[in-house]
Amino acid sequence: MNPMEDSMATDTMMKAGKTEGRKTKSVARHIPTAARALMGLIFFASGIFGLLTALGIVPPPSAPMPAEAAAFAGALAKTGYMMPLTSGIDLVVGALLLSNRFVPLALALIAPVIVNIVAFHAFLAPSGIGIAVVVAALEIYLAWAYRKAYRPMLAPRAATDAA
């Protein structure tokens, strides 16, 4: 290969490397959006189903649950407000995540619900632990992706505007 061809080959390889780098960078920047959309869909659908079930429009799932899980779910349902409340939170959080509005607030609102989902499946109904782990992983990833929004909330001492 003559020096001119060698130079052209090196130049082509460098351009190819830059293009590959851009593609990788381009895909990586879409991961938070994909995670947010997936989590939004999960909670939006769950919220709609839960509210329709609480209103008696849709029958509750007929799949058998372990006795302890059924007792826990039954106790929540007997309160009269807990299932509609959690379903409403699911629906609102799902809508916020899908619309890309107030995402850090939505993640903070849904965090205790996710802790309960993971605990419920870890201790009472292990058959559903897979989706619980996926939702928890999405929550942790998105909380990390939006970590700058939480910085003021996690300050050891917060000043008021009145000072």
Residue 96 predicted with pLDDT over 60:
yes
Average pLDDT value for residue range 149-156: 90
Residue 14 pLDDT exceeds 50: no
107 pLDDT above the threshold of 90: yes
Q: Spell out the residues 6+ positions from residue 121 whose beta carbon is closer than 8 angstroms to its own.
A: 127, 128, 129, 131, 132
CB 106 within 8 A of CB 96: yes
- The mean predicted confidence, pLDDT, of the chain is 87
